[in-house]
Chains A and B, each alone.
Chain A
């Protein structure tokens, strides 16, 4: 496991995901909504012939979303693949050590980078939350 992380902005805040969980980043294109699914499910999209569920990451994190997601981050964990709608990817690289503890269930902790707080995402927990959020 490397300590290289993909840095992204979600709901105006900064987060980081381990690079090995990130498959690709693309434009957030057309989605088919899935009526009956939970509110965090934006829909499904066609990723080169595969049907990919897309979640609103800001909503999963509970950030009152003032911003509109424009990019799609394809994440994988435990053989399961999802699209996460985010504002943008800001950087890929090593992260300063995690110093700040947080009480968020989705974060391993937070790192202080150049005076900014970066939430380091616990991918397993986020996927478990997605599973809950998928239902109405």
Chain B
């Protein structure tokens, strides 16, 4: 559970900020050391987003200790507060608020003790880099001097008062990331670099397709000291040397025979599958009003395929079983949730499992990090007292990680002759966007369904809007509209494990909503549209955006041409791109002069977009200096060769062949698109960036 969506539970206890409400002991959050350093223990984890640095800043500021004296302990189940999952951009909100309050309380307690000992009023004591100073400058004590007093073995008090924002000196400043030096000097920092004495390397031999059952495994020679472990359909290889395990896994894969079944929807017929698959339908939002007959109607359907995460570092875990405790090192986003599912899958009490977080590569949602922990644990259980390091292959990463589910967003909007919005109907069809571990009866971890005593694969869910939502996130348009109906159709058939990728359903919903709004710029008036729309349409007009909205055709009437410009049409057919492709590219000089007039600078993105940004000094840290089109950038270094090619291609070819309209250069496709392993599910054939295929304007189908 992420508290920020709902606020702390109403459990009768005094309200405390963020995760402190449910983890109330101060010594769970921080420890003072005799040498003057302070250790903080956030339950949120570093995913490359720089959160540990931000949390250290908050703590240092509240304690009045130099940032250099702050130590941040990576989350671990034995001694970190349970802060659920690091997701949703909520870490400052949940962990930062908790730490701020905990540190303010620790400071208050320390000052009151020093005041009692010295007779100086706590209000008169200043704290300077951890030293307590009397008004005359005498040093009355320090945090280090109170380290052994056990002062923090108490629950946080709601009375602690954090500093006012104006008094902050460290939080809110751009400071250098604490984790980056190790990464720039190649020091061991990632879980992939963890080496324990006596460690063995392991790989998994995955089935060639989903649901395949291992029929036979021929024996044969293996390189080095490699050995095979089999538990049901779960087959693992382990060896002292990593490259032996790798080579042996390839050899064993060739010796295995499987009973396969066709379980995936046809790659080219995703939309048909989304329309056909069994579902639970519900209403997300609805209001009805008497409205006049519409003069304009526009409708569209937006299709988004399954999307892979494509983290650059394959999922990795290290596990050690000593007969009583299973110790796991993992780059999971939620170590407590992972522990809960490991307990179910291994049929062990949670108290016998310890999960420690170690950084992995960048993480953009629920990838294979949790799954690989179970794989390592299964191997470790068969080899007690030997640490087992299990690394997924690139093919496994793309073929077996949870993926963001395919989505179909259908929208129909109506307006009167004056352009006032009258009705909005939106239907969202998708699998669940949340299949994270630790929340259901059965474990969601991949290999739990492959071991001999297998568990069923739990259906991913779309949490209610109050819990952040899933497919329906941002499906309710932010417009004032008299007649509104937003429906959610959660599929009850899940051919591929689906789970969270940044923004969950928001990407497709916002793309659909925004595209509809852009279409409606031809309507003469825009009452009902949100503030700023008028300004945006003025900008659209000025910068050459073209109106593509049309009057609703009579049923059976031929479709009106959607655009006179082939480039716009082909770009529109490939989804997210319509948002910028429809605009004529402003010249560089026009952008520069506009930027100069507005005292802003042009966007730094490689697309020469028209966005400008406020002139400010470059910020170290994590801020991205790119435009709102970042989500559709292909994360490339060089200019848009693919885009130029696409523009010059005939529109008919571009719209006929999906592959032809992908601007993704071959390198990106082959690395993050096409798995080169035994298993290639539909999503892995796609670039991990978003494609949203926009379909022809057509009358809206009847609600299912």
Is chain B found bound to chain A in the same assembly? no
Give chain B's interface residues, CB within 8 Å of chain A.
none
